[in-house]
Amino acid sequence: MVDVVGFINDKKEEMVQLLKEIVERESPSTNKELTDLLGSWLAEQFSRLTKGEVTKIENDQYGHHYRAEWGEGKEKLLLLAHFDTVWPEGTLDSKPFRIEDGKAYGPGVFDMKGGIVQGLYALHALEELGKKLNKKIVFLFTSDEEIGSPTSQELIEKEAAGSDRVFVLEPAMGVEGAIKTSRKGVGIFQLQVEGKPAHSGIDPEKGVSAIGELAHQINYLHGLTDLSLGTTVNVGTIHGGTTSNVIAAHAEAEIDLRVKAQSEFDRVIPLIQNLDPINDQTSVEVTGGINRPPLERTEDVQSMYSAARSLASEYLNIELPEKETGGGSDGNFAAQLAPTLDGLGAVGDGAHANHEHLIVKEMPVRSALLALLLMHYGEEKGGYEDE
């Protein structure tokens, strides 16, 4: 395993150059032309670096997805990565790729193009050093994670269902590089309120305010938050009314629910979906549901984290902490079907923010960690041994 670490360390400058190239290929989720260009380029890089096979999965709505395969075996290990970003076309004009004080900046560099580069070089090392695993590696590149994975969720779940383990190349948690062993589940709901319009000065008694009803419902919904359980309910957007002198006939809101465990979904979702109007002259309607199930810290997840921590300590001489996060990822989908370890990507900060960056010196370290994990789980009995 030591030779893998050394090999990847020697590839640091190549990794940085590839990082520059991938960041400078902008890929906003809803721009199919740009995401398709990047996806095609990624397929070429996978073939070049790993000599593996790549299959394009056609997608008419968003960018095409790509399923890449390396190695052989009846069983498989799954790598998950998305190549779309939240940044619109033209962001590079004001936020160009640059390296400053050991940090690489640019749109999507941290979330999650750095993780893609690290994943490619982990497999590159295994290929070049002739490491033979008893499980094949499937690397799934998807194009729509940042908008909820509407066209890739089914594909992710299908691949995860047939996988022995899943490794998610989303960014690590914090600059200390913590692995994500728990992600909250996400629920998204829309609340519609109907009242009765009237002139607010001439006939106020004839109107029933939908905005007034919505205000009462917001207080109730926010009261469902229970931080001791890690459950949060947030009304994030509201709209309603027409002009200031008309009692509002309609109002609406969007609700975000986050929970640590499926049992909390089971408890809280009915409280949201079965809202009753406070004022019986209004009507309320709730639509929506679960967007992503929770990635819970199961025994299997704990075991995977323990393996990663041991490998990091023995071969990389680093401590590897773990953390939970309220954000969701494609790992939430995979975790329902196979043991899943998340946060194996870049170390840095600022996902979706102007200061988004990764720490350059950590790239070969995290790439080597992934390679070691693949070797560890790539032997049928659970422990790779050098030939």
Using 50, 70 and 90 to split pLDDT, how confident is the model at 1? confident
Predicted local distance difference test score (pLDDT) of residue 37: 98
Where, residue-wise, is CATH 3.40.630.10 in the chain?
Answer: 2-183+294-377
- The pLDDT tens digits for 88-144 are 999 999 999 999 999 999 999 999 999 999 999 999 999 999 999 999 999 999 999
Q: What is the percent of the chain with per-residue pLDDT over 90, rounded to a whole number?
A: 97
Average pLDDT, the chain: 96
Query: What is the distance between the alpha carbons of residues 214 and 284, in angstroms, rounded to a whole number?
Result: 9
Average the pLDDT over 76-96 and give the result. 98
- Per-residue pLDDT reduced to its tens digit, 214-236: 999 999 999 999 999 999 999 99
Sequence ranges of the chain with CATH classification 3.30.70.360: 190-292
Share of the chain above pLDDT 70, in %: 98
Q: Looking at residues 8-18, what average pLDDT do you find?
A: 98
CATH ID of 2-183+294-377, from 3.40.920.10, 3.40.630.10, 3.90.1150.10, 2.60.40.3120:
3.40.630.10
Q: Which residue blocks in the chain are alpha helix, DSSP H?
A: 2-10, 12-23, 32-50, 91-94, 114-128, 153-161, 210-222, 262-273, 299-315, 330-334, 362-377
**The token pair that represents 357 in the structure block:** 């960056």
CA gap 249, 238 in Å, rounded: 14
User: Is it the case that residue 383 has pLDDT exceeding 70?
Assistant: no
How far is it, in rounded angstroms, from Cα 170 to Cα 149?
A: 14
Look up the pTM and report it. 0.91
pLDDT digits (tens, 9 = 90+) for 367-381: 999 999 999 999 744
Contact by Cβ (8 Å): 380, 76:
no
The pLDDT tens digits of the residues spanning 259-313 come to: 999 999 999 999 999 999 999 999 999 999 999 999 999 999 999 999 999 999 9
CA distances from 108 to 19, 96, 146, 177, 350 (A): 10, 11, 11, 17, 10
Domain 190-292 adopts which CATH fold? Alpha-Beta Plaits (3.30.70)
